[in-house]
Amino acid sequence: MNSIDLAGQVAVVTGGAQGLGLAIARRFVQSGAQVCLWDLHADMLAEAAATLGGATTMQVVDIAQPDAVVAAQQRTEAEAGPVSILVNSAGIAGPNHPLDAYPVDAWQRVIEINLNGTFYVNRAFVPGMKARNYGRIVNIASIAGKEGNPNASAYSASKAGVIGLTKSLGKELAGFDIAVNCITPATAKTRILEQLKPEFIEYMLSRIPRGRFLEIEEAANMVAWLVSKENSFTTASVFDLSGGRATY
């Protein structure tokens, strides 16, 4: 593992109780950061925090509730200090249906968590980063946001929105020492696969030239560099983790 210095940094990782979020948080702790895990699931959150050790705190937060996000941001910074690293990993896949049969309530929930939730969390932390003239933000998008997946219009649209939000915010903050980037992973071996039909999982695997799913540690390694001080120039950009599926 390459050494990346995050000593003295305070990081928030949403969706930090499992999957990509937990792997990213673990890499941050290994790199010297103090990490606050945000997640909706209290039991899983407590278990995850315990495995990461003393440099970890937690907040039970529903990122789809803007007032709850602001309250959690205030609690986090009161307890841990100013947040300089933000990773938005919380998200859901939603059901698989053709668009003309997609349940409206399911569509709204996917958009509310994946896209609006990312907006609410970014909005809560950006003012402090601007005031301190420093910050690193990574929003977790998806290869689906670049290419679209059939029978997953809500998820694909939400992640395309995350890409657009990242590009816009990165340009807004380009005059500060704040980098805002996103990653577009292909399917990884996480519990989000439990929400998908087997035939859809096989479809996604068949699209990856590497011939395998993403390992969560591979994503954590890329994100660790993106949130480091060494990433001092690149912003408003998209970093691909699709195993060759996308070449742009």
Q: Which of 213, 101, 219, 212 is nearest to 150 (CA)?
A: 101
* Catalytic-labelled residue, pool 120, 134, 155, 203: 155
In this structure, which amino acid lies at residue 180? V
What is the secondary structure of 87-107 as a DSSP string? EE--------B-GGG--HHHH
Residue 178 host element (H or E): strand 178-185
**CA-atom Rg of the chain in angstroms:** 17
Half-sphere exposure for 162 (CA within 13 Å, toward CB): 37
> Known catalytic residue: 155?
yes
Residue 195 is given by DSSP the state: G
Supply the angle between the helices 153-172 and 117-132 in degrees, to the nearest 10.
10
CA distance 121 to 68: 10
CA distance 29 to 49: 11
Tokens of 109: 């929930």
Q: Which residues are catalytically annotated?
A: 155
